[in-house]
Amino acid sequence: MMDRLSQQADSSSGNTEFTVPGRFQNLFPIGIGAQGAVCAAIDTVTGMPVAIKKLSRPFQDVTHAKRAYREIKLMRLVDHPFIIKLLYAYSPQTTLRSFRDIYLFTERMDTNLSAVIGNPLDHERLSFLIYQMLCGIKYLHSAGIIHRDLKPTNIVVRADCSLKILDFGLARSVGTTFMMTQYVVTRYYRAPEVILNLDYDTKVDIWAIGCIMAELLTGQVLLPGTDHVDQWNRIITTLGTPSAEFISRCNQSERRYIETLPVHPRPQFDQLFPDSSFLVVEGTRTVSLNNQNARDILQRMLAIDPLERISVQDALAHPYVNVWFQEDEVNRPAPAPYDHAFDEQELTIDQWKALLFQEIQEIQGLTLGTSTSDN
């Protein structure tokens, strides 16, 4: 029987008790997300630093249960250096009847990207961060997953500027039956086509990366909309009114609204991001890592019309990014396609609970290779 250890971990949400196998030691809180508290720990068997996320009663409602199930399924599917990997999953309860908590163990990074914002980044660091985001997103797209909720807190980094995408964004069915009422979906990084209720595709993730790049550069959220309408107003006041052809593709109600607004000129990107926004380090070796190329890729990622916006493939080939190109990172074989039917299942809470329990039992058997007795 494996030792179990209950550790108190203070978190900003109060006191969260973590009950994890004894091989995980030195727990301390490092974050709080929509699903619960996150602690750092050391895996004394491998010596590896890990992050442990506690999902408290993940089946308390259908939204939480679906999200937990989707996250676990996806984490088991993916294998890419820039996407967080699931090392273990664990529940201290060993019967379905007593099942209550899930702990997810992942590789630990130093902090999330929002902690980096405000610190000046030179071109090498900035372009490397963008390269890794693009590779990670390309890989998710290759599995049929459009993230749709990329933001600085969903990306974790190390001091050496290596980065991993922490979650898999929103399920495809969000906005229909799976409207995540409890979860605050960040609006700032939301693409114009989503704001305008148009069809969307993988380009929504490029828009988000553009917004994140601008924020890394200036230390300020590029488009901090206070609501849906304000988000659109900020998009056009900052980036200019889109073409009449784009507006003609909008639905009637959105088109009518857009046409009531003043026309804003397209900005010059060298005024939006003047030389003073860049940290230029003397002796930078790579010629293509310059202010002009940084602005060029930003402008292409921040095209309001998704048909004009740069694709992931072309962004990875852009001179500001392709200096980092590595075949096994850019063109990693796609994982098995994700079956979106999982997200769309309409199950009762008890059915979700049984599915989650089964999933955890399976992972525990595979990874920890141990059995525990019930509490």
> In the set 9, 21, 53, 200, which binds ligand AMP (CB under 6 A)?
53
- The number of residues that bind ligand AMP (CB under 6 A) is 17
x/- map, 148-167, ligand AMP, by CB under 6 A:
-----x--x---------xx
SS (H, E, C) the chain: CCCEEEEEEEECCEEEEEEEECCEEEEEEEEECCCCEEEEEEECCCCCEEEEEEEECCCCCHHHHHHHHHHHHHHHHCCCCCECCEEEEECCCCCCCCCCEEEEEEECCCEEHHHCCCCCCEHHHHHHHHHHHHHHHHHHHHCCCCCCCCCHHHEEECCCCCEEECCCCCCCCCCCCCCCCCCCCCCCCCCHHHHCCCCCCCHHHHHHHHHHHHHHHHCCCCCCCCCHHHHHHHHHHHHCCCCHHHHHCCCHHHHHHHHHCCCCCCCCHHHHCCHHHCECCCCCCCCCCCHHHHHHHHHHHCCCCCCCCCCHHHHHHCCCCHHHCCHHHHCCCCCCCCCCHHHHCCCCHHHHHHHHHHHHHHHHHHHCCCCCCCC
Taking CB under 6 A as the rule, does residue 121 contact ligand AMP? no
Least separation, in Å, of the C-beta of 373 and ligand AMP? 29
Catalytic residue list contains 149: yes
Least separation, in Å, of the C-beta of 17 and ligand AMP? 17
CB closer to ligand AMP out of 39 and 316: 39
CB–CB of 182/160 below 8 Å? no
Least separation, in Å, of the C-beta of 343 and ligand AMP? 18
Distance CA 302, CA 188 (A): 13
> In the set 21, 31, 92, 192, which binds ligand AMP (CB under 6 A)?
31
Catalytic residue among 43, 149, 167, 343: 149
> In the set 9, 30, 39, 74, which binds ligand AMP (CB under 6 A)?
30
Least separation, in Å, of the C-beta of 37 and ligand AMP? 8
Task: Please report where in the chains the tokens 């749709």 appear, as a residue.
Answer: 148
> In the set 41, 65, 83, 84, which binds ligand AMP (CB under 6 A)?
84
x/- map, 94-113, ligand AMP, by CB under 6 A:
------------xxxx--x-
CB closer to ligand AMP out of 77 and 347: 77
Distance of CA 200 to the CA centre of its chain: 18
Least separation, in Å, of the C-beta of 310 and ligand AMP? 27
CB closer to ligand AMP out of 35 and 202: 35
Least separation, in Å, of the C-beta of 126 and ligand AMP? 20
Residue from 263, 317, 268 nearest 288 by CA: 317
CB closer to ligand AMP out of 83 and 214: 83
Least separation, in Å, of the C-beta of 330 and ligand AMP? 23
Taking CB under 6 A as the rule, does residue 54 contact ligand AMP? no
Alpha-carbon distance values, 147 to 275, 309, 367 (Å): 32, 17, 27
Query: Residue with the closest Cβ to ligand AMP?
Result: 33
Q: Select from 28-36, 58-66, 223-231, 296-304 the region that touches ligand AMP (CB under 6 A).
A: 28-36
Q: Select from 3-11, 32-40, 327-335, 347-355 the region that touches ligand AMP (CB under 6 A).
A: 32-40
Residue ranges in contact with ligand AMP by CB under 6 A: 30-31, 33, 35, 38, 51, 53, 84, 106-109, 112, 153, 156, 166-167
So which residues are the catalytic ones? 149
